[in-house]
Amino acid sequence: MSAQSYLTPSEGFNAIDILPNNDTFSSFDVYGSLLYANDGDTIRCFNMETGLEVSKFGKPAGYTAYPSFVSISPDGTEIWAGFTSFSNTDDRIYSINIEAGTWDLKALMPGNFDLEFLSNKVIVSGLNSSDNSNPTSIFVLETNGTNNHQQIIEIGGFSSGLATDSDGNIYYATSFIDGSTTNALYRWSSVDVNAVITNPETASLVLDDATKLTDIPSGAYDCEVDAVGNVLFNFNDFSSDKVLAIWNKTIGDGYNFDTLAVATDGMDWFTMVKSCGNILEPGDDDGVYVLSWGRPVAKVMRNKPPIINEPLGIISGYEGDSNVEINLNNHFTNPEDKEAFIYEIVSNSFSIVASASINEAILTIDFLEAGQTTILVKATSNGQSVTDRLIVGVYPEIEGNYTITDFENLTLADESYWSGDDGSGSFVSGLAKFNNTQSEWSWEGWTYSNISDVVTPGFTNQYSAITGSGFDTLASNGKNYGVAYVSSDWVTNETLPLPLTFSDNSAHHVKGFYVTNSTYAALSMEQGDDFTKKFGGETGDDPDYLKLSVWGLIDGVETETIEFYLADYRFDDNTKDYIVKTWQWVELSSLGKIDTLLFNLSSTDVGDYGINTPTYFNIDNLYIVPDATGVERISIADFVVYPNPSNGVFRVKADANENMEVSIFSINGMLIYKNKNYQNSDLIDISKQAKGSYFVKISTSQGNYSKLIIVN
């Protein structure tokens, strides 16, 4: 059905001959997968997918003339065919009913050349005269038998094809060969055209009434507008290549076009141009068709870009791990299977984290320093390219004696989570205690999960980490991870710090922990949704971020704050912008010994009701020093708040033979209750305060002590 072409396509395009054994056509048109072509005596219809002739329409008996054009009606039910004679004395335009095969003589028009449809009108370029000295013009075809065709545009020169677009504009590329007028591609506006059509007494439009789109080096034969408005045309010269071109959207003097293909044989001469779809798209149903004398119809189409058949995805490793080699040919496919790929690294956002190099098709990654980097790899074939990204996470080596909170002691079925709906109010992993508050419509605090869904956006996927699993599953086979939700104050709309305490009621050094984004937050920042903006904005230049702040408390006194950016778009170089999608280490050793860890989130995406970015994050492998030597603590038996959690009404009991000072602070440090002469087990009522976490601090002659409580 098709073969490589006599045309030489430009880079990024391909050309094939349609029906390569059929080289006697003089005019044609396409409609979907059907090619209608006139060989002089018969209009034949071919299925271009199979190459089979499906129907034919013989010219009326006894009529001798040359085909000038074939045009299919917009609804695909009729063929309009033009014929001219050497003397232009019996030049006819027919319509053929495709279903019935009947020919209907629509009009006589001397020197007809091309036909297009304009709304409910039929317009034709040509002479409308047997006198060749008359100027080439464009006419509205009169089909009532009078042949009184209305001239709407007078042009001059040799006749050429015309085109219309969906807005009703008319296009024409001139063919002056005497050098008196520069050849060019013109466009007449629909407003001006309609004004002439509706007012027959109005003078015809001329070249000066049109917008010149581009100059053309030599005379044109035809022009065409594709389905999305790309303007195509061809031009011929006896002494140089014949050119099929596309207007580049620049208006005015000069050669404002790009070449799609050329015919280099001296005997070639381009004629009709037709199109389907969008010439600049690489689809099977997109392209431009052109005909040359003594040649088959040829199709020029955009090369299909390489396909990413397996995304490069995410890889992780420890500092100093062996290099990882990735065969890029396993990730990219050339759909036209013509040339080997050319691979290149476009950017490496943080080369201090991991280095990247390519040798032929092998991408080599070297893990250097803890962090995350994004490596963009471009694959090019047939003048078309596609880019994919590889996210590389690098872990530090942690040495020392630690109790690791890895959530693996918590039993979960595969693809499930614990949400706290059993009412227990907390859970423990390692030395860490995580509180969970439930209400009829929501929860806050901590949960744990092993959900691996990293593609579903939105609130329904709130329990998933963007990594799809816990930290370092290859080494530890760990699937579980912690899920944190930072709630907001209903009055101030400010986020409320989320506490984490220790199950032995002692103070500890915390080395650090691994953190990543929740799928909910990551996809919201990456894609935007009904509630949150796409980070970077439409241009990618908005300096957005999502920041995790972590600090400690020791006896109610705050430590320094550690800040970690879960997403950061503040870089001048947008290739460095990132959303954390690997497990990343957060070092906390500078906080010293603490009895409470506090976590909070802040974002640049803030609305009338506070932060818009989903306030979720995930943690795993929290490293805690088990030895609490050097910090005095009352045991849990000596200092009890009961009930805890409560509805805000509770009692405090301590092993002290004196009255105590009891102070209660909100999670962000605001004093909400104080009793300087509290007696053991007296009732405390803070039920009018907002639900959430609070700190109870008692002061005695022996020292100051604090405990976290939950108000449901």
Split at pLDDT 50, 70, 90, the class of 693 is: confident
Are residues 473 and 334 both part of a single domain? no
Kindly tell me if the per-residue pLDDT of 222 is higher than 60: yes
Q: For residue 633, is it within any domain?
A: no
Q: For residue 452, is it within any domain?
A: yes
Domain membership of residue 370 as a residue range: 307-395
Residue 438, C-beta contacts closer than 8 angstroms, at least 6 positions apart: 419, 420, 421, 423, 425, 712
- Report d(CA 271, CA 284) in Å as an integer: 23
Q: For residue 634, is it within any domain?
A: no
**CATH number of 578's domain:** 2.60.120.1350
**CATH number of 125's domain:** 2.120.10.30
Are residues 458 and 494 both part of a single domain? yes
Are residues 142 and 250 both part of a single domain? yes
Are residues 140 and 156 both part of a single domain? yes
pLDDT on residue 26 = 94
Residue 103, C-beta contacts closer than 8 angstroms, at least 6 positions apart: 57, 59, 60, 94, 95, 96
Split at pLDDT 50, 70, 90, the class of 335 is: confident
Q: For residue 629, is it within any domain?
A: no
Nearest by Cα to 43 from 61, 55, 51: 55
Encoded tokens for 540: 């990618």
45: left (phi over 0), alpha (psi -120 to 50) or beta: beta
Sheet containing strand 34-38, edge to edge, reads 27-31, 34-38, 42-47, 53-58
Strand partners, 355: 366
Encoded tokens for 241: 């290549």
**Mean pLDDT computed over every residue of the chain:** 92
| Rg of the chain over all Cα atoms, to the nearest angstrom | 38
Average pLDDT over residues 475-501: 88
Are residues 484 and 595 both part of a single domain? yes
By the 8 A CB rule, do 361 and 332 touch? no
Average pLDDT over residues 138-156: 96
By the 8 A CB rule, do 155 and 136 touch? yes
By the 8 A CB rule, do 691 and 439 touch? yes
pLDDT on residue 370 = 92
- Cα 124 to Cα 113, 138, 153: the distances in Å are 7, 6, 11
Provide, rounded to the nearest whole percent, the portion of the chain with pLDDT above 70: 96
**CATH number of 351's domain:** 2.60.40.10
Average pLDDT over residues 501-528: 96
Please write down the HEC assignment for all residues of 151-187: EEEECCCCCCCEEECCCCCEEEECCCCCCCCCCEEEE
Split at pLDDT 50, 70, 90, the class of 632 is: very low
Kindly tell me if the per-residue pLDDT of 633 is higher than 60: no
Total domain count, the chain: 4
pLDDT on residue 421 = 85
Average pLDDT over residues 193-212: 96
Q: How long, in residues, is the chain?
A: 712
520 sits in which H/E element: helix 519-527
pLDDT on residue 460 = 95
- Report d(CA 306, CA 139) in Å as an integer: 46
Q: Which of 302, 326, 359 is the last residue of a domain?
A: 302
Residue range 492-504, pLDDT digits in tens: 999 999 999 999 9
Encoded tokens for 302: 């955009």
- Cα 225 to Cα 86, 229, 251, 275, 364: the distances in Å are 30, 6, 16, 7, 47
Encoded tokens for 457: 């956006």
Q: For residue 209, is it within any domain?
A: yes
Within 10 angstroms of residue 607's Cβ, the number of other Cβ atoms is 11
Average pLDDT over residues 75-86: 96
Q: Which of 375, 395, 415 is the last residue of a domain?
A: 395
Are residues 42 and 64 both part of a single domain? yes
Kindly tell me if the per-residue pLDDT of 631 is higher than 50: no
Are residues 287 and 408 both part of a single domain? no
Are residues 211 and 244 both part of a single domain? yes
Q: For residue 632, is it within any domain?
A: no
Are residues 242 and 365 both part of a single domain? no
Encoded tokens for 28: 């044609």
Kindly tell me if the per-residue pLDDT of 638 is higher than 80: no
pLDDT on residue 635 = 44
Are residues 298 and 312 both part of a single domain? no
Q: For the chain, how are helix, strand and coil distributed in percent, rounded to 5?
A: 5, 50, 45
Q: For residue 686, is it within any domain?
A: yes
Kindly tell me if the per-residue pLDDT of 582 is higher than 50: yes
Provide, rounded to the nearest whole percent, the portion of the chain with pLDDT above 90: 78
Split at pLDDT 50, 70, 90, the class of 477 is: low
Q: Which of 281, 302, 323 is the last residue of a domain?
A: 302
Q: Which residue has the higher pLDDT, 367 or 626?
A: 367
Kindly tell me if the per-residue pLDDT of 669 is higher than 80: no
**CATH number of 661's domain:** 2.60.40.3080
Residue 396, C-beta contacts closer than 8 angstroms, at least 6 positions apart: 318, 319, 370, 585
Mean pLDDT lowest among 140-154, 246-260, 346-360, 470-484 = 470-484
Are residues 338 and 352 both part of a single domain? yes
Kindly tell me if the per-residue pLDDT of 639 is higher than 80: no
Kindly tell me if the per-residue pLDDT of 512 is higher than 60: yes
Residue range 239-249, pLDDT digits in tens: 899 999 999 99
Kindly tell me if the per-residue pLDDT of 313 is higher than 90: yes
In our burial notation (b when 16+ CB lie closer than 10 A, e otherwise), range 664-699 reads bbbbeeeeeeeeeebeeeeebebeeebbbbbbbbbb
Are residues 209 and 315 both part of a single domain? no
Residue range 545-578, pLDDT digits in tens: 999 999 999 988 899 999 999 999 999 999 999 9
Q: For residue 630, is it within any domain?
A: no
Split at pLDDT 50, 70, 90, the class of 672 is: confident
- Report d(CA 132, CA 648) in Å as an integer: 101
365 sits in which H/E element: strand 362-367
Residue range 405-426, pLDDT digits in tens: 999 999 999 999 999 988 899 9
